[in-house]
Amino acid sequence: MSASRRVTRAVNAVLEVAPRHGAVSLAGLVHGVSQDRGRPIEVKMADLPPGVCGQWRQYSDRDVFLIQHGLPTWDRTLAHELGHLVLGHDGIPVVEAALERTELASLDLIGYMLNQRTGCMGPGGEDVEQEAEDFAALLVYRLGRLPSDRASIVQVRLGEAFG
Ligand SMILES: [Zn+2]
């Protein structure tokens, strides 16, 4: 795996906003990024359409990362969605997200439409999906290599990150 300079820079930027003291967790990094941008980021578990691991929704006043319930690699998915955000990929506008409340059929349809941007690994390795994946792999890897006095909460399994 060789992440592009753009991805490497984004990971560096995120690690720079990490709290200076105490353990650095992925959640801590997300919080740091939200403070840096002056926009709250909420992380919620949700029942997303089958095959979708995570979704980034942009509201007028905040960003929301939805993570599929019961996902064993939720931290990786969270890092992936954070990657979309810091790399400037588009999230899901709130209008579309609001539609899902109307009826199940809409939810299914929207889920289908969104799949191409929110799959675990976008179909055909779509560029932005690949970039977000590279970001997630590098961020999780770097988190796991921080000095032990900043013991990371993220358990990095190299085989998983680079396999
Ligand atoms: Zn994605």
Q: How far is the CA of 140 from the centre of ligand 1 (A)?
A: 16
Reported pTM: 0.72
Q: Ligand 1 center to residue 128 CA distance, Å?
A: 7
Distance of CA 32 from the midpoint of ligand 1 (Å): 21
> What dihedral angle (degrees, nearest 10) is formed by the CA atoms of 42, 95, 82, 29?
-20
- The Å distance, Cα 84 to ligand 1 centre, comes to 7
What mean pLDDT comes out for the span 50-58? 87
Question: How many residues are recorded in the chain?
Answer: 163
Q: Find the mean pLDDT for residues 68-76.
A: 89
**What confidence tens digit (pLDDT) does each residue in 124-135 have?**
447 888 899 999
**Could you tell me the distance, in angstroms and rounded to a whole number, from the CA of residue 36 to the centre of ligand 1?**
22
120 CA to centre of ligand 1 in angstroms = 7
pLDDT in tens, 76-109: 999 999 999 999 887 777 655 555 555 444 555 5
The strand order across the sheet containing 92-93 reads: 41-46, 63-68, 54-58, 92-93
